């Protein structure tokens, strides 16, 4: 049997209040987050927590993901990074390496594949994961209770349910906040430049609105303008 689940992340301000979520159905999902993290960290954590939640099962795993960065990290780039001591082709350290190492450990013995889905394109599972991840980031922003979900609870599954996890503090640096940052990664690492843009809340909401209209994330919209 194949488990079909979506994994997604959200970071208000990127970095900022952040949430991750994986979703199978309304009775089987989990979410968590932090007061301050990046969108890529949230996306990676969603996948990591999905692998952990299903580690007790023999089922194949189909992960629906709207982050090509995450998919490429896991399916293309990690083997080369590991051979180079978790460094990119230009010798620079791989970003989010602790999360990637934890994901790498979870892959042992697993049968899985990723399927890319376009974000904010009304894909039911992706939208469900996205809304739950965003709810966590908004809860951290407002100081309200964190909606963590029931964890792994699947009808007919005799195995013990896996509770939702809410923190991965050691792997997510608690750095000083910025209103917008792009912490992208590429395969070669040779031409990548980190860029930070400070926006007012009104400007960022306008950016998000335009990105949603195009079906992309804010950082991709900005890259498309270059």
Contacts with 183 (C-beta within 8 Å, 6 or more apart), sequence order: 15, 38, 40, 41, 95, 96, 194
Residue 9 annotated among the catalytic residues of the structure: yes
pLDDT at 31: 98
The H or E element that residue 182 is part of is strand 181-182
pLDDT of residue 198: 58
Count: domains in the chain: 1
Q: Which domain holds residue 104?
A: 2-166
- Residue 176 maps to a domain: no
Query: What is the C-alpha separation between 173 and 43, in angstroms, rounded?
Result: 15
Is 218 among the domain residues? no
In this predicted structure, what is the pLDDT of residue 121? 87
Per-residue pLDDT of the chain (226 residues; tens, 9 = 90+): 899 999 999 999 999 999 999 999 999 999 999 999 999 999 999 999 999 999 999 999 999 999 999 999 999 999 999 999 999 999 999 999 999 999 999 999 999 999 999 988 889 999 999 999 999 999 999 999 999 999 998 765 655 445 444 444 334 433 333 333 444 555 544 444 445 565 655 566 667 666 655 656 677 677 667 6
Asked if 25 contacts 16 with a C-beta cutoff of 8 angstroms, the reply is no
Identify whether 178 is part of a domain: no
pLDDT value at position 16?
97
In a domain, 197, yes or no: no
Q: Which of 9, 19, 33, 149 is an active site residue?
A: 9
This prediction's pTM: 0.73
Establish if 202 belongs to a structural domain. Answer: no
66 is catalytic: yes
**Beta carbons within 10 angstroms of residue 193's beta carbon:** 6
Report strand pairing: 28-37 vs 16-25: antiparallel
71 occurs within a structural domain: yes
For residue 131, the SS3 value is: helix
The one catalytic residue in 102, 104, 130, 185 is: 130
Return d(Cα 190, Cα 172) in angstroms, integer: 25
Give the bridge partners for 29, in sequence order. Answer: 23, 151
Residue 36 among the catalytic residues: no
Q: Which of 13, 36, 66, 119 is catalytic?
A: 66
Q: Is residue 113 part of a domain?
A: yes
CATH code of the domain containing 123: 3.30.420.10
Burial 120-157 (b: 16+ CB within 10 A, else e): beebebbbbbbebbbbbbbbbeeeeebbbbebbbbeee
User: Is 75 among the domain residues?
Assistant: yes
């Amino acid at each position: 049997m194949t488990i079909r689940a979506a994994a997604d992340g959200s970071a208000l301000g990127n970095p900022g209040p952040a949430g991750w979520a994986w979703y199978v159905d309304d009775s089987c999902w989990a979410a968590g987050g932090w007061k301050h993290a990046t969108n890529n960290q949230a996306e990676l954590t969603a996948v990591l927590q999905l692998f952990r939640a299903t580690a007790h099962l023999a089922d194949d795993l189909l992960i629906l993901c709207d982050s090509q960065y995450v998919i490429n990290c896991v399916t293309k780039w990690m083997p080369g990074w590991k051979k180079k001591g978790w460094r990119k082709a230009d010798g620079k350290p791989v970003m989010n390496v602790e999360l990637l190492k934890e994901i790498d450990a979870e892959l042992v013995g697993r049968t899985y594949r990723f399927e890319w889905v376009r974000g904010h394109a009304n894909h039911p599972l992706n939208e469900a994961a996205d809304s739950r991840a965003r709810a966590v980031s908004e809860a951290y922003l407002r100081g309200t209770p964190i909606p963590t979900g029931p964890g792994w609870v699947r009808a007919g599954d005799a195995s013990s349910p896996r509770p939702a996890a809410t923190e991965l503090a050691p792997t997510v640096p608690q750095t000083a906040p910025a209103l917008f940052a792009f912490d992208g990664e590429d395969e070669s690492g040779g031409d990548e430049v980190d860029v930070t843009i400070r926006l007012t809340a009104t400007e960022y909401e306008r950016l998000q609105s335009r990105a949603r209209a195009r079906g992309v994330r804010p950082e991709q919209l900005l890259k498309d303008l270059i």
